[in-house]
């Protein structure tokens, strides 16, 4: 009898966690109020370069993300409530759990749970309602030629984003941050995993353009500007990026 009771309580708790996550997920894209997006910088390589970069980071450096969301929302006929407010927090000293290298779904679930627990412990927020948490891991570009994959999780509304600690990379960093942020709202990738090329039509900012090439903007979830059938360029910043129709639908703007 006691065992049955314990199992019952456990099931009740798990249901509570699942319903809580589902509610946060749904409410984050109701767009009835401005969604807070919390940013926590992390000195991921413990280098002096990253430390110096983090010391000089200001809220204004992330304002283009807010501006981009506001302008794109307006383009889809949404008012200012369909937007976000970026909040910059102090640097975090702990590193978030490393995502699994393998494609094993059980490992991915285990990592997602660990990441959510870590985020709960390390990412402070203020105020009510669902809020997004983005952990920005900065690396010295002189020591890291390539960065690992960034991840945005819709469950838990959190992102683990790898970036370069360089002022020259700031505009492109904001593109990566916005891409991962939109993952937390349920937007999907719109590029081909093998070739990295944007998928047609959903990965094109203006798919109906004639002639089709060269495009001048990147669809944010495709990440690149298709300039020919076989070539795509990295946008210089959010000013060369748009939210396509499919992404707009995924984040409940349409």
Of the candidate spans 19-27, 117-125, 126-134, 184-192, the one that interacts with Zn ion by CB under 5 A turns out to be 184-192
- State in angstroms the smallest separation of the CB of 226 from Zn ion: 17
Measured between alpha carbons, how far is 110 from 117 in angstroms, rounded to an integer? 11
d(CA 181, CA 133): 9
Q: Is 192 in the site for Zn ion (CB under 5 A)?
A: no
Nearer to Zn ion by Cβ, of 189 and 240: the residue is 189
Q: Which is nearer to Zn ion, 49 or 243 (CB)?
A: 243
Please state the closest distance from residue 123 (CB atom) to Zn ion, in A: 21
Of 189 and 245, CB closest to Zn ion: 189
Q: ∠ at Cα 110 (108, 116), nearest 5°?
A: 100
58 vs 149 by CB, closer to Zn ion: 149
Closest residue by Cα to residue 247 from 227, 223, 213: 223
- Beta bridge partners, 164, equal 139
Contact residue for Zn ion among 61, 66, 85, 189 (CB under 5 A): 189
- With CB atoms as reference, the residue minimizing the distance to Zn ion is 189
Residues 6+ apart with CB under 8 A from 82: 31, 73, 76, 253
**Interface residue list for Zn ion (CB under 5 A):** 189
């Amino acid at each position: 009898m006691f065992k049955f009771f314990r199992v019952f309580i456990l099931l009740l708790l798990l249901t509570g966690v699942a319903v809580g996550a589902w509610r946060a997920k749904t409410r984050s894209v109701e767009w009835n109020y401005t969604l807070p997006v919390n940013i926590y910088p992390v000195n991921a390589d413990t280098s002096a370069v990253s430390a110096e970069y983090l010391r000089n980071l200001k809220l204004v450096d992330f304002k283009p993300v807010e501006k981009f969301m506001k302008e794109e929302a307006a383009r889809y006929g949404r008012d200012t409530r369909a937007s976000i407010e970026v909040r910059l927090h102090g640097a975090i000293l702990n590193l978030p759990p490393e995502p699994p290298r393998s494609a094993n779904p059980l490992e991915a679930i285990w990592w997602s749970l660990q990441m959510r627990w870590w985020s709960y412990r390390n990412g402070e927020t203020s105020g009510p309602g669902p809020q997004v948490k983005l952990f920005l891991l900065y690396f010295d570009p002189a020591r890291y030629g390539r960065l690992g994959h960034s991840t945005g999780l819709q469950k838990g509304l959190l992102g683990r984003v790898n970036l370069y600690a360089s002022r020259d990379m700031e505009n492109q960093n904001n593109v990566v941050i916005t891409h991962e942020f939109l993952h937390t709202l349920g937007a999907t990738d719109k590029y081909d995993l093998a070739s990295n090329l944007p998928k047609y039509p959903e990965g094109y900012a203006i798919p109906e353009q004639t002639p089709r090439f060269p495009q001048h903007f990147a669809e944010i979830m495709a990440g690149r500007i298709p300039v020919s059938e076989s070539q795509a360029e990295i946008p210089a910043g959010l000013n060369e990026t748009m939210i396509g129709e499919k992404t707009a639908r995924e984040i409940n703007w349409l």
